[in-house]
Amino acid sequence: MGTGRLYAAVAAGGFRRYATYRAATAAGVFTNTVFGFILAYTYIALWAEKPHLGGYDEAQALTYVWFGQAMFAVMVLGSNGFEAELIERIRTGDIAIDLYRPVDLQGWWLAADTGRALFQLLGRGVVPMACGALFFDLALPADLLTWVAAFVAIALGTVVSFAIRYVVALCTFWLMDGAGAMQLTWLSGMFFSGMLLPLNVFPGALGDVARVLPWSALLQAPADVLMGEADPLGTFAFQAAWAVVLLAAGRLIQSAATRRVVVQGG
């Protein structure tokens, strides 16, 4: 099997793996939809007091809410993805088996996470977004080109999300337990991605810093592309730059960590 076909098979396996959890998917859709309504009415009250807060009108603010709920599982903004399994394999020493596979470790997990992200986009992203559009006046694009640009930004965002979590998971080689690091990453991601509030609302230097951190590539950047508030090419360059930097960092950490792997117990 060629390398491309192998990674495609791994991605397809990741898609099928998450597709088997139908009850969990339904529960996730329900939860994201309920939180969407809660946040939507909160934003309506907030924007009634502060019109055009962060440069958004009310329709854009509501679009941001529902887009965030659609991206919640895709970008792994509040739960675990592949990194929980990778951390456990490093902790138990099973990572040694992975290193013997005739395939790149980083590429394998990236392909698997790509399949997961695609399923979450279709399985948990479409329904909340459609529900929001049904009950609220959203600022959705009317032209196909903007939708295509938004999907490209989403794809680049998933790569950045993977790269962040891969780097953190590899820290388990030294920490022996990556749970604390993942919790810190989860909290940072929730705040700096704009999941709680759009980064445009953040004041002064905090907003300036938040918008250049990699987490902004996960939600704020694709949301602005969807609503026509950002230049797509500039956004793609920003996301791609962080993807390259973080993937390269993961590669260096992987090389340092696996240069001499000591498996506990033997």
DSSP 59: H
User: Span 11-22, mean pLDDT?
Assistant: 94
pLDDT level of residue 102 (50, 70, 90 thresholds): confident
pLDDT tens for 211-251 read: 999 999 999 999 999 999 999 999 999 999 999 999 999 99
Interval 32-83: pLDDT, tens: 999 999 999 999 999 999 999 999 999 999 999 999 999 999 999 877 788 8
Q: Look up residue 137 and give its two tokens.
A: 């006046």
What integer is the mean pLDDT of 193-217? Answer: 94
Per 3-state DSSP, the chain is made up of helix, strand and coil in percentages (nearest 5) of 75, 0, 25
| Residue-wise burial string across 191-219, b where 16 or more C-beta atoms lie within 10 A, e elsewhere | bbbbbebbbbbbeeeeeeebbebbbbbbb
Model confidence pTM above 0.75:
yes
Q: For the purposes of burial, counting CB atoms within 10 Å of the CB of 55, is it exposed (0-12), middle (13-18) or buried (19 or more)?
A: exposed
Helix or strand or coil: residue 72?
Answer: coil
CB-based contact 66:36 (threshold 8 Å):
yes
Pick 184 or 78 by higher pLDDT. Answer: 184
Taking the C-alpha atoms of 237, 238, 243 and 245 in order, what is their torsion angle to the nearest 10 degrees? 100
Cβ proximity of 87 and 182 under 8 Å: yes
AA identity, residue 107: G
Percentage of the chain beyond pLDDT 90 is 74
* Tokens encoding 115: 């399949």
Instruction: Copy the structure tokens of residue 25.
Output: 């998917």
| Mean pLDDT along residues 96-102 | 83
With 70 as the cut, is the pLDDT of residue 24 above it? Answer: yes
Radius of gyration, CA atoms only, the chain: 19
Among candidates 66, 62, 68, which has minimal Cα distance to 45? Answer: 62
> What does the alpha-carbon distance between residue 48 and residue 43 come to, in Å, rounded to a whole number?
8
- Measured distance CA(117)–CA(9) in Å, rounded: 15
Question: For residue 255, what are its two tokens?
Answer: 């090389």
